[in-house]
Amino acid sequence: LASGESGAADIPSPFRNDAWLHFETFPFGKGVALLLRDITADMQRHRLADVKSAILKAMSVHGGVGYVRVSTRGFIEVADEGFCAMVGLPEERLANIAMADLIELSSRPAFRELMECVLRGDGEQRVSSRLLTNHGAILPVDAALAQLHGTYGSEGAVIIITPTPVPAR
């Protein structure tokens, strides 16, 4: 009021937990007007710490966890360095390949059925399977599959893969 200047800021809401407000002040008549706007959705989408990105970076640093994103038809769209190292192929060679084609032949039908359930929206799944590698070896793995929800519905699935630990003898 004393300066006669306008101001604006984004603040945590004093009215609700986990909510954000954008407020503006400006001179109005002989006083100051205050406008408040709920920006919670915008903050969650764009401005707060990107937890998903941090998780992917941590998985990359870990090295023993692979990440694959598949389309709604089960074809690989993104494969991280960890997964590429497991199968022994660069991401460019894995792009647009059916994920099920990288599974050992005898396990493919069960894997395809499981992936179809996830892509249909029947819930997340966990599976033990065996990956074919470019080195000619078969790699036992544990995988978790979850549907990827976008603004307009399903956009495919995310698969997290780790080599199955070999029991000590």
Model confidence at 93, pLDDT cuts 50, 70, 90, reads: very high
Q: Whole-angstrom Cα distance, residue 7 to residue 103?
A: 59
**pLDDT of amino acid 48:** 58
Could you report the per-residue pLDDT of 27-78, keeping only the tens digit for each? 998 899 999 999 988 887 776 567 777 888 888 888 889 999 999 999 999 9
Is pLDDT larger for residue 159 or for residue 1? 159
Q: Check: pTM over 0.75? Answer yes or no.
A: no
Average pLDDT along the chain: 90
Q: Whole-angstrom Cα distance, residue 71 to residue 77?
A: 6
**pLDDT of amino acid 139:** 95
CB 158 within 8 A of CB 69: yes
